[in-house]
Amino acid sequence: MHKLLRTPAGSTGRTGWWRTGVFGAQHVIVMYTGCVTVPLVFGAALGLDKQTVGLLVNADLLIAGIVTIIQAAGVGRFLGARMPVVAGASFTAVTPMILIGQEYGLNAVYGSMIGAGIFAILMAVPFSKLLRFFPPAVRGAAVTMIGLSLIGKAVSMIFDDEPADGARLSLALGIVIVVVALMRYGTGFLRQAAVLIALVLGTVAAALMSLTDFTGVGDAAWFGVPEPFFFGAPTFPLAGIISMSIVMIVIFIESTAYMMAISETTGIDADPPRIARGLAADGVSAVLAGAWTSFPDTIFAQNVSLVRITRVTSRTVVVVAGAILIVLAVIPKLGETIASLPGAVIGSVSLVMFATVAGTGISTLAKVDCRDNDNLLIVSLALGAGMIPIVSKDVYSNFPAEVQIIFGNAISSAVITAFVLNLFFHHLPRRGGRTNPPAADPIADKETVA
């Protein structure tokens, strides 16, 4: 498998079997809380009982594991980006799913998801042809806003949505210091497993501070397989399918930005065929999620940043992470164990990951030529538009659901603004019928067949 899933020369793509397992577990722990938060929020909003929410969590982990393996290993030349990326439930889908559930019922939620997934599969290749419309100014603004928008979620986990207290603040600071110290002074395994080591030490410290609670582990079952069509036969309301299709386009934009970011880290060509296969996997995730009462997946930002920090680019590691997710899905007791890790610990590590995502975006923006002020205006207004729903969460609450889905999300607001302004400044004719295209972008211009 190591030979099959090797990465380009010069990358740290090959690891021993035990390191592969450890690094795969590190990926899972980093993304686990973000992944299971989606079904928890969805279940709470629709008043589902604890047992049903648990089934949604298991289904969520199962689909995330399957799609992660597809993205890393690929399915022939048709499906999967073949990149070291981890897939998980998208926060973008939560609001429209809640609105559809309240209006049409749970059957309609998953029927709409299946319809949107089919739409996404059909749109994967056409969308991949638009890479030239995603120069560094657009994708740099997108990735930067993704990181900035997620930092608030990390802070919420650290302090449990309460005012900061000395104990949690000290714990968070200590965990960040451990990560920084290992990245600065550690070598080999210590450096590559810095996040996992910080998680273990942080959990021990949290236990000594009485900030842990593993009582739910004893009540969890040892074995359970998610049941397809748990809520009955799906229904397909047109409004619901349209709303979820809009969600899939937003997911496409996010995943495209992530694949280009991971391309810069690993050297793997992010050409149109590879992007198309990665986006098709997103569409397949929605179809599978509709059948197994789960959620559409996207590439997870924290795992992209983990690859950048550790430089462990082995796709085998990510396949192992996907396998671990599947095991957690069918052994709820193990999943509950990871779910019981202290929020202050997971939040502290996530803070480092999300800040690194923002830093990755800034490094992309550093390549942007701002001498003519066009690109400067594109980036500035995109980040400004993205910050609006962050600083004022209810600003779009009186608008239709479709408007809330698009502009009530910081990421989609920033990306759409950057995309439209880039079209306006660099692709629409100016005086004399000429356009002013952006500087050549080596990633978007690649024509290598994957």
Is residue 308 within 8 A of residue 267, CB to CB? The reply is no
The reported pLDDT for the residue numbered 9 is 38
Structure token digits, residue 188? 């080999």
* Structure confidence by residue, pLDDT tens digits, 2-31: 444 555 433 445 556 778 888 888 888 777
Span 104-129, pLDDT tens digits: 888 999 999 999 999 999 999 999 88
pLDDT in tens, 315-356: 899 999 999 999 888 877 765 666 667 778 877 877 887 787
pLDDT of residue 354: 77
Encode pLDDT of 395-425 as tens digits.
887 887 667 766 777 777 888 888 899 999 8
| Predicted TM-score (pTM) of this structure | 0.71
Q: Is the pLDDT of residue 77 over 70?
A: yes
Average pLDDT, the chain: 80
**pLDDT at residue 449 tops 60:** no
pLDDT in tens, 419-443: 899 999 888 776 655 566 665 565 5
What does the domain layout of the chain look like in residue ranges? 17-157+234-341+356-433
The predicted pLDDT at position 335 comes to 59
Instruction: Return the higher-pLDDT residue of 81 and 345.
Output: 81
Q: How many angstroms separate the CA atoms of 333 and 337, rounded?
A: 6
pLDDT at 238 over 60: yes
Round to whole Å and give the CA distance between 16 and 360. Answer: 28
Going from the C-alpha of 255 to that of each of 14, 80, 101, 248, the distances in angstroms are 25, 12, 26, 10
Each residue's pLDDT tens digit, 145-184: 877 877 877 787 788 767 777 888 888 888 889 888 887 8
Rounded average pLDDT over 195-211: 82
pLDDT, tens digit (0-9, with 9 covering 90-100), for 24-74: 888 887 777 667 777 766 776 677 776 777 788 888 899 999 999 999 998
Greater pLDDT, 141 or 224: 141
